[in-house]
C-alpha cells in the first residue's frame, strides 16, 4: 500500500490552513449584512459566479460515482449520469430559468414564494414548508457528500475514516461559517483552478498509458467483462457487475433519466448565484461558462477509469481471488452489512493487529505481500468495488507531490460543493424561518450568529446520516429519483401555470417530501423508475388538486409576477398585461429561449463526450461526434448568443 509522502501531507495541510486563514480574512466583509453574507452584496461578476457554479457541481462524491460507471462502461457511463452528474438541467438555467429568478430581486427560493403567491397564511405556510424541505434536501446532500469523503479519506490516512472525514468537514464548515458567500465564491476560483489543472494532468497520464483503443478495449474486457467498453453510444443491454444490474438496459436507463432532467430542468433556477447576478445577461454567461468548465471533469474521470482498468488488471490477474478474499472476511465477520463493509476493510488495512491473526494470514496468502493495497478494492459482493477506483488509482499510480496536489483538488471539489450547499441552507433557516417567523426585528449581529449555529446543526445532522449510508450510489439515486423527484411538480407548475397557488404548492411539496421519506424508511430497495414515477405522480396530484379546490392567487400579485418574470406557459388570463410591440418582443424572447434547448442539449452532451474519446484514443468516434457538437454550437449562436448580446 503506497502511503502519502511527506510532501503530499505538507501540500494537504497547507491547503487546509490557507482555507481557514481566508475564512478569517473574509469574516468582516461577509458580516456587513445578510445580503453580503448570503449573496455577496449582489456585486460579484458573472465569471466568478460561473466558477462557483462549476465548483459546486464538481463534488468529490459525484466524481467517485461517475468514475465508477466510466470504469464499468467506458464513455457510455455518461448516459447513466443523465440522472444528474452530466448537468443537463444547466441548459434550462442557461436559456431562461436563471434570468427568470433573478428578475424577482429575492434572496432565497423560499422568499421567492412570497413574490409569486403574495402575503397571507397560505403564502407564509408555503414559505415555511419550502424552507424546511430545502433544508431536508441539503442535509441529505451533505450525507451523500460525507459518505463519499469517508470512502476516499479512508484509503489515505492511517486513522479511522470517520475521524479524518470529521476533520475535513470541520475545517470547511468553519470556513463557510466565517466567510459567507464572499468566501465561498472567491475560494471557488482558486479551488476551481486547482481542479482544472489536476484534470489536465490526470487526462494526460491516462492518454499516455493507452497504446491504442483496440488494446485498451481488450484489457477492459478482461477486467470488466464489458465487450463494448470503448464505444460511445448506448446499447440495449450491457454487462454490469453484481449490485449494478439495474443499469444493464442502458438505452432505456438513459431515456428515463433524460425525461427526469427535462421535467426537473423546467423548474430550476432558484440558486444563490442567479439571485445574486447583476443582469439577465450575466445569468446566461455564467451558465455557459459553467458548462464549459464542467467539461474538464469528464477527461479527469475517464482518466481515472482508464488507469483503474490497468491497475486492476495488474493487481488481480485472476478476478476469482477477489471473491475468495470477500469470503474470508465474511467468515470472520458474518454480520457485517454493506453499510459498514468499507469501514471494516479499512480497519483491517490500517490496524491488522486488532483482527484475528488467521484473517490477515489468509488475506496475505490470497493477495500476496501487497495485500493491504489490494484489499481496498475488494467489494461487498465479491467483485471490485468500483466506487474505490478513484482513490485506489491515486494511491498506487500517481507519483508523490503530484499525488498531494490531486488529493487537494478532490478536497477542493468536496469543500466547494459542500460550502455552497451549507450557505444556501443557512440562508433558508435565517431568512425564511428565524427572521420571518420567530424574530422579525432581530438585529444584523443576531442574524449572523444564528447563521453560524444553524450551519453547524445542519452539518452535524448530515454527518450522522452520511456515516450510516449503505453506499454513495444508492443514496444518490434516492436523492435524485425520490426526494427531489417529489418536488418536481410544485417547482415546475409555479412557473408555467397561472392557477397554481400557495395551497397547491404546499400540497405537492409536503406529499412529495413525505412520500420520499416513507419510501426510504419502509421500501429502500424500490427500483429507481418506480420511485420516480410514484413521487412525481404524488407531487403532481397534490399540487393540482390543492390549487383547484382553493381560491386562486390574488390578481395583483399575479400581475406583478407576470410583468417582472415574463414567463411562457399557461398564462392566458395575464397575457393582456403586455400589448403591441412589447407583447411581440416577449413572445420572441420566449420562442428563442425554447429553441435554444435542443441545441444546448446536443452541445453539452457532445462536449462531455469529445475529451473522453481523445483520452482513450477513440479518434474515429471523436470525428463522428465533432460535427454534432458544432451543429449544437451553431444553433446556440443563432437562438441564444445573438439575442443575449443585444441585452
Q: Note the pLDDT tens digit of each residue in 347-358.
A: 787 778 888 888
Q: Which backbone phi and psi does 157 adopt, to 5 degrees?
A: -125, 145
3-state DSSP: the chain helix, strand, coil percent, rounded to 5? 80, 0, 20
User: What pTM was computed for the model?
Assistant: 0.83
Per-residue pLDDT band for 536 (boundaries 50, 70, 90) equals very high
Q: Under 8 Å CB-to-CB from 620, ≥6 apart: which residues?
A: none
What's the longest Cα–Cα distance across the chain? 85
What's the chain's average pLDDT? Answer: 83
Per-residue confidence (pLDDT) for residue 91, from 0 to 100: 95
When pLDDT is averaged across residues 217-235 and rounded to a whole number, the result is 89
- Cell numbers 418536481: residue: 488
**Which of helix, strand or coil describes residue 497?**
strand
Range with lowest mean pLDDT among 363-367, 417-421, 532-536: 417-421
Query: Closest by alpha carbon to 277, among 554, 4, 48, 610?
Result: 48
Higher pLDDT, 52 or 391: 391
Range with lowest mean pLDDT among 46-55, 200-209, 333-342, 348-357: 46-55
Q: What percent of the chain has pLDDT over 70?
A: 86
The answer, yes or no, to whether residue 80 has pLDDT greater than 50, is yes
Per-residue pLDDT band for 470 (boundaries 50, 70, 90) equals low
Per-residue pLDDT band for 430 (boundaries 50, 70, 90) equals confident
Q: What are the chain's domains?
A: 6-312+400-646 (1.20.1730.10), 328-383 (no CATH)
Higher pLDDT, 277 or 262: 262
DSSP state of 430: I
**Which of helix, strand or coil describes residue 180?**
helix
Selection from 80-84, 109-113, 160-164, 219-223 with the highest mean pLDDT:
219-223
Cell numbers found for residue 256: 428515463
Range with lowest mean pLDDT among 175-189, 262-276, 309-323: 175-189
CB atoms < 10 A from the CB of 246, how many? 12
Cell numbers found for residue 159: 486513522
Classify each residue of 331-345 as buried b or exposed e, where b means 16 or more C-beta atoms within 10 Å of its C-beta: eeeeeeeeebbbbbb
Range with lowest mean pLDDT among 226-235, 469-478, 487-496: 469-478
Q: What percent of the chain has pLDDT over 90?
A: 33
**Which of helix, strand or coil describes residue 384?**
strand
CB atoms < 10 A from the CB of 634, how many? 12
Between CA 610 and CA 606 the distance in angstroms is 6
Per-residue pLDDT band for 190 (boundaries 50, 70, 90) equals low
Amino acid at each position: 500500500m503506497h502511503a502519502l509522502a511527506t510532501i503530499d501531507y505538507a501540500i494537504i495541510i497547507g491547503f487546509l490552513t490557507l482555507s481557514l486563514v481566508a475564512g478569517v480574512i473574509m469574516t468582516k466583509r461577509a458580516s456587513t449584512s445578510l445580503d453580503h453574507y448570503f449573496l455577496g452584496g449582489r456585486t460579484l461578476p458573472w465569471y466568478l459566479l460561473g466558477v462557483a457554479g462549476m465548483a459546486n457541481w464538481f463534488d468529490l462524491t459525484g466524481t467517485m460515482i461517475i468514475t465508477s460507471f466510466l470504469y464499468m462502461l467506458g464513455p457510455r457511463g455518461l448516459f447513466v449520469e443523465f440522472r444528474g452528474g452530466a448537468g443537463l438541467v444547466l441548459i434550462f438555467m442557461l436559456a431562461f430559468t436563471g434570468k427568470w429568478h433573478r428578475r424577482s430581486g429575492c434572496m432565497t427560493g423560499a422568499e421567492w414564494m412570497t413574490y409569486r403567491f403574495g402575503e397571507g397564511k397560505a403564502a407564509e405556510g408555503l414559505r415555511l414548508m419550502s424552507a424546511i424541505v430545502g433544508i431536508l434536501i441539503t442535509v441529505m446532500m451533505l450525507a451523500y457528500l460525507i459518505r463519499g469523503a469517508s470512502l476516499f479519506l479512508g484509503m489515505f490516512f492511517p486513522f479511522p475514516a470517520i475521524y479524518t472525514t470529521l476533520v475535513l468537514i470541520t475545517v470547511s464548515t468553519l470556513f463557510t461559517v466565517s466567510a459567507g458567500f464572499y468566501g465561498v465564491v472567491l475560494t471557488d476560483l482558486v479551488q476551481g483552478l486547482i481542479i482544472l489543472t489536476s484534470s489536465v494532468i490526470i487526462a494526460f497520464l491516462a492518454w499516455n498509458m493507452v497504446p491504442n483503443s483496440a488494446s485498451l478495449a481488450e484489457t477492459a474486457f478482461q477486467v470488466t467483462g464489458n465487450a463494448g467498453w470503448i464505444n460511445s453510444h448506448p446499447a440495449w443491454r450491457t454487462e454490469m457487475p453484481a449490485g449494478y444490474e439495474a443499469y444493464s438496459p442502458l438505452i432505456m436507463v438513459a431515456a428515463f433519466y433524460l425525461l427526469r432532467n427535462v421535467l426537473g430542468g423546467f423548474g430550476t433556477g432558484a440558486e444563490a448565484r442567479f439571485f445574486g447576478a447583476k443582469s439577465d445577461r450575466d445569468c446566461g454567461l455564467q451558465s455557459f461558462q459553467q458548462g464549459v468548465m464542467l467539461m474538464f471533469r469528464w477527461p479527469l474521470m475517464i482518466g481515472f477509469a482508464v488507469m483503474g482498468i490497468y491497475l486492476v488488471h495488474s493487481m488481480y490477474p485472476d478476478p476469482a481471488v477477489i471473491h475468495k478474499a470477500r469470503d474470508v472476511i465474511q467468515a470472520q465477520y458474518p454480520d457485517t452489512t454493506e453499510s459498514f463493509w468499507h469501514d471494516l476493510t479499512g480497519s483491517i488495512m490500517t490496524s491488522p493487529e486488532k483482527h484475528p491473526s488467521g484473517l490477515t494470514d489468509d488475506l496475505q496468502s490470497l493477495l500476496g505481500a501487497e495485500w493491504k493495497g489490494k484489499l481496498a478494492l475488494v467489494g461487498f459482493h465479491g467483485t471490485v468495488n468500483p466506487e474505490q477506483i478513484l482513490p485506489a488509482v491515486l494511491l498506487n499510480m500517481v507519483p508523490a507531490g503530484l499525488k498531494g496536489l490531486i488529493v487537494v483538488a478532490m478536497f477542493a471539489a468536496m469543500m466547494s460543493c459542500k460550502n455552497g450547499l451549507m450557505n444556501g441552507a443557512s440562508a433558508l433557516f435565517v431568512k425564511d424561518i428565524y427572521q420571518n417567523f420567530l424574530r422579525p426585528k432581530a438585529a444584523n449581529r443576531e442574524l449572523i450568529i444564528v447563521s453560524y449555529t444553524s450551519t453547524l446543526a445542519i452539518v452535524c445532522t448530515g454527518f450522522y446520516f452520511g456515516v450510516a449510508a449503505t453506499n454513495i450510489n444508492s443514496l444518490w439515486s434516492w436523492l435524485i429519483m425520490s426526494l427531489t423527484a417529489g418536488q418536481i411538480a410544485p417547482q415546475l407548475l409555479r412557473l408555467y401555470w397561472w392557477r397554481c397557488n400557495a395551497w397547491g404548492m404546499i400540497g405537492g411539496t409536503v406529499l412529495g417530501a413525505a412520500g420520499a421519506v416513507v419510501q426510504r424508511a419502509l421500501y429502500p430497495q424500490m427500483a429507481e423508475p418506480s420511485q420516480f414515477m410514484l413521487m412525481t405522480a404524488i407531487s403532481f396530484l397534490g399540487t393540482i388538486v390543492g390549487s383547484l379546490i382553493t381560491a386562486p392567487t390574488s390578481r395583483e400579485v399575479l400581475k406583478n409576477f407576470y410583468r417582472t418574470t415574463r414567463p411562457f406557459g399557461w398564462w392566458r388570463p395575464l397575457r393582456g398585461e403586455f400589448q403591441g410591440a412589447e407583447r411581440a418582443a416577449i413572445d420572441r424572447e420566449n420562442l428563442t429561449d425554447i429553441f435554444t434547448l435542443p441545441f444546448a442539449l446536443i452541445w453539452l452532451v457532445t462536449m462531455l463526450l469529445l475529451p473522453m474519446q481523445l483520452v482513450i484514443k477513440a479518434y474515429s468516434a471523436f470525428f463522428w461526434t465533432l460535427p454534432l457538437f458544432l451543429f449544437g454550437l451553431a444553433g446556440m449562436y443563432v437562438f441564444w448568443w445573438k439575442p443575449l448580446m443585444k441585452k
